[in-house]
Amino acid sequence: MVWSEGAKNKLFAEGKQDILSLNIPFLDIAAETRLQMEINDIVDELEVIIGIVRTQIQILDSYVSLAEERLEDATAAATPLADTWFRRSAAEMRLRFQERYDSLVGLRGTAQNVALGVSRTAHSALALSPPTDLR
């Protein structure tokens, strides 16, 4: 017998019915709960990684500022080629860090959206669950 037929028979039969005894697989939110916990762990891990990359960017920016000051102080000894090379290399490195940071922020947003979708699915299933006073 198909689940829906069993549910219909219980709902429309005469007398007190135990509708909660129906095995309603779509109301089982255990899988969604586990998924929600895993997604939250991933979001937390992404937060840590984002913090590390943010710190790396700050350290790189500080280093570049300090190196540029030193290069300006030593302009007589430094060739323009060395100064140009350093600035270009620093800009490329900064761009790579920024791209990595932006990618991680995007991943975090995606994970948060997935978590929200799973949460809504679980809440929808709970809203469909029958009241407990039908016994």
The DSSP symbol for 29 reads: -
Mean pLDDT of 64-73: 84
The answer to whether the beta carbons of residues 33 and 123 sit under 8 Å apart is no
pLDDT level of residue 135 (50, 70, 90 thresholds): very low
If one counts every other C-beta atom within 10 angstroms of the C-beta of residue 111, the result is 19
CA 27 to CA 33: how far, in whole Å? 12
Q: What percent of the chain has pLDDT over 70?
A: 64
Task: Give me the pLDDT at residue 10, please.
Answer: 60
